[in-house]
Amino acid sequence: MTRRTTVEVRAGGASYPVVVGAGARTELAARLAPSVRRVAVVTQPGIGVDVDPGREHEVFAVGQGEQAKSLATVEALCRAWSRWGLTRADQVVAVGGGLVTDVAGFAAAVYHRGVGVTHVPTTLLGMVDAAIGGKTGVNLPEGKNLVGAFWQPHAVLCDTDALATLPERERLSGLGEMAKYHFLTGDDLLALPLDERIAACVRIKAAVVAADEREDVANTRGRATLNYGHTLAHALETGGRYDLRHGEAVAVGLVYAAELAHHLGRIDRARVDDHRRVATGYGLRTTLPEGVDPADLLTLMARDKKAVDGLTFVLDGPDGVEVVPGVDPGAAAAVLDAMAGRG
């Protein structure tokens, strides 16, 4: 019998299972509530992962690329569901990477003011981050994930068989997000087999979500710490011309955050080197792309959704990773210049 690991995520006064292991998606029909009559399966062309919800179902495809992570896509899904007759007694199943689970999850959260959703992530990034924790959302031209909702899934099925055909860039993207977890707990995950590493990341995220489901802005050590490395990463992605996948950008963002923390006297050089060791251990880049514009990146970072009191970062420090508001823009620019070879 195939061995799978189940991690319970507690949020909103309830809990749901995250199943990790080969063939996990075969549990879909059993994981749906018996009362669910019809299932809207949301996926993308080319995902190549089929699911059987064991009920009447229809497949709804969304587009490729960040341009599909939009309010227009959410509207199109909701209208298609309405024409099909999806009700609040039915459920949505999202099959794909983070874009699919984010868009389908948000659409499920707002359709009929909320229908249930189960995620079947098919990428490493989705398994360790995007599909876990109930954050859903889409982009605006002004920035990533600026419109969304907290909507916890009924279950998440991380079928590691789906990773066998994952393109290399997508694998690296997942590893970039995985690298973040090394610094949230101090655990070194590099030596673990992949299935165990995924489950360990899920446990770390589950503990953070249980303590701070909706990202209380006053909680500097709460859910916002899951955005470690993301302030610069989102700016690089929003800039749109650097050819970086999300996790690749996060890896660069982790190193930048470590360099910034060092510049501010929060950590020593050895701790910065530890960030570089983990990132390079996963085969990830640690340098800024060619041709970055520090002024443009600073403007984009100031729009980050964590920024409630000036330029805000998640930074390492003597007591661990925490949210640090009011960072001096001059310091942030100086570190960008140094990493770009201009300092």
Average of per-residue pLDDT across 180-207: 92
Catalytic one of 119, 154, 230, 262: 230
Asked, colleague to colleague, whether 5-166 and 169-339 share their fold, the answer is no
Lowest mean pLDDT across 26-35, 93-102, 132-141, 299-308: 299-308
- Asked if 154 is an active-site residue, the reply is no
- Asked if 246 is an active-site residue, the reply is yes
- Asked if 234 is an active-site residue, the reply is yes
Residue 234 · residue 304 · CB < 8 Å: yes
What pTM was estimated for this model as a whole?
0.91
Lowest mean pLDDT across 49-58, 74-83, 91-100, 304-313: 304-313
- Asked if 135 is an active-site residue, the reply is yes
What percent of the chain lies above the pLDDT cut of 70?
Answer: 98
Per residue in 216-244, pLDDT tens? 888 888 999 999 999 999 999 887 678 89
Is CATH 3.40.50.1970 the classification given to domain 5-166? yes
In the chain, where the domains are located: 5-166, 169-339
**Position 179 confidence tier, pLDDT thresholds 50, 70, 90:** very high
pLDDT at 303 over 90: no
Catalytic one of 171, 246, 305, 306: 246
**Position 38 confidence tier, pLDDT thresholds 50, 70, 90:** very high
Catalytic one of 135, 154, 245, 306: 135
**Position 164 confidence tier, pLDDT thresholds 50, 70, 90:** very high
- Asked if 69 is an active-site residue, the reply is no
Helix ranges restricted to H, 92-229: 98-110, 124-125, 168-185, 194-211
pLDDT at res. 72 = 98
pLDDT at res. 242 = 85
Catalytic one of 27, 170, 213, 215: 215
Q: What is the DSSP string of 12-48?
A: TTEEEEEEEETTGGGGHHHHS-TT--EEEEEE-TT--
Average of per-residue pLDDT across 174-203: 93
- Asked if 227 is an active-site residue, the reply is yes
pLDDT at 62 over 60: yes
Query: Can you say whether the dihedral through the CA atoms of 144, 146, 152, 153 is positive or negative?
Result: negative
Mean pLDDT estimate for the chain: 94
- Asked if 139 is an active-site residue, the reply is no
In CATH terms, the fold of domain 169-339 is Dehydroquinate synthase-like, alpha domain (1.20.1090)
Judge residue 67's burial from the number of C-beta atoms within 10 Å of its C-beta, 0-12 exposed, 13-18 middle, 19 or more buried.
Answer: exposed
- Asked if 214 is an active-site residue, the reply is no
Average of per-residue pLDDT across 186-198: 90
